[in-house]
Amino acid sequence: MIEELHDEKLKFLEEKANEIRQLVIEMLLEAGSGHSAGPLGMADIFSAFYFHILRHDPKNPDWEDRDRLVLSNGHICPVRYVTMALAGYFPLEELKTLRKINTRLQGHPHRTALPGVETTSGPLGEGISQAIGMALAGKLDKKDYHVYCLTSDGEHQEGNTWEAYMFLGKNQLDNLTIIIDRNYIQIDGITEDVMPLEPLKQKLESFGLHVLEVDGHNIRAFIDAIREARSEWRRTSVIIAYTIPGKGVSFMEKKFEWHGKPPNKEEAKKALDELRTLGGKIQSEHQ
């Protein structure tokens, strides 16, 4: 069961999302490489997962009955690393090692390198199939854990993604929820210019899936969508979460050029100043 979201907890989650964004900027600046737009856009969702939704234990990351969180679009891993560090999986100081030699925090997550990472990701489009395997295993083993798969909209240009939906159309695993980061960008431009995905909701519904749409920056609405997805016991649920790439940093927002680019020192300072100001607004809104 997912706990009720009270106002005080909502404030905590919003503040945590802002802290995640700041640490992502600092991490990317230190690394000198990595992706900016996607991690900033997904901070609210990661805050909601690790600090409210997931059944997990950072002190026992291989706990058999934990919920599984599969990150298919592994290039946004800075947001996962930061959130996991804040949740207690490893020391915050280790964030400075992103993409460095012999680091556990590689440019794409490596399952055996870091406790709490469920899959190795790199080639896009594989995560849903991996999550299906985990959900199917849970059914066969009569476990009550839930599997969540985070995937990008750009990955929906991959054929393997639609093969996975075909499988779900037949098998309808209700212990699996898929979240699509619908931010409309990919490395080469706007998704609808590169390879149009719309009408995305109708395409997914044609497989018999239970499809929800939500503002990915409204933490309360996102948690409500997860709760609705969990209550659907006949079908697999897919949540299309509309997010703004680069969220919280004005010069990055909605700019596909920031898909795979880190900030330089000057840009990082400007970004952190904006995020700290935003943090103050979150405080005042909840007073």
**pLDDT for position 193:** 98
Question: What band does 123 get if pLDDT is binned at 50, 70 and 90?
Answer: confident
Q: What is the mean pLDDT of residues 124-141?
A: 97
Does some domain include residue 1? Answer: no
Does residue 286 surpass a pLDDT of 80?
no
Q: Please check whether residue 282 is in contact with residue 19, taking contact to mean a CB–CB distance below 8 angstroms.
A: no
What is the domain range of residue 181? Answer: 7-285
Q: What is the pLDDT of residue 140?
A: 97
The half-sphere exposure of 128 on its side-chain side, counting CA atoms within 13 A, is 26
- Tell me how long the chain is: 287
Does residue 93 lie in a domain region?
yes
At residue 23, the pLDDT reads: 98
pLDDT tens digits for range 65-121: 999 999 999 999 999 999 999 999 999 999 999 999 999 999 999 999 999 999 998
Q: Are 223 and 151 in contact (CB under 8 A)?
A: no
178-234 pLDDT per residue, tens:
999 999 999 999 999 999 999 999 999 999 999 999 999 999 999 999 999 999 999
Give the model confidence (pLDDT) of 17-68 as tens digits. 999 999 999 999 999 999 999 999 999 999 999 999 999 999 999 999 999 9
Whether the CA torsion 108, 109, 111, 114 is positive or negative: it is positive
Asked if the structure places residue 241 within a domain, the reply is yes
Confidence at 285, pLDDT banded by 50, 70, 90: confident
Domain contains 159 = yes
Q: What is the mean pLDDT of residues 276-286?
A: 87
Number of domains in the chain: 1
End-to-end, the C-alpha distance of the chain in Å comes to: 29
Q: CATH number of the domain at 211, please.
A: 3.40.50.970
Statement: residue 287 has pLDDT above 80: no
What's the confidence (pLDDT) of residue 280?
87
Residue 228 counted as domain residue: yes
Q: What is the mean pLDDT of residues 1-15?
A: 95
Q: Is residue 2 part of a domain?
A: no
pLDDT at 92 (0 to 100): 98
Residue 280 lies inside a defined structural domain of this protein: yes
According to the model, what pLDDT value does residue 122 have?
79
Looking at the domain assignment, is residue 124 inside a domain?
A: yes
pLDDT score recorded for residue 281? 87
Amino acid 251: pLDDT: 98
- 207 vs 150: CA distance, rounded Å: 19
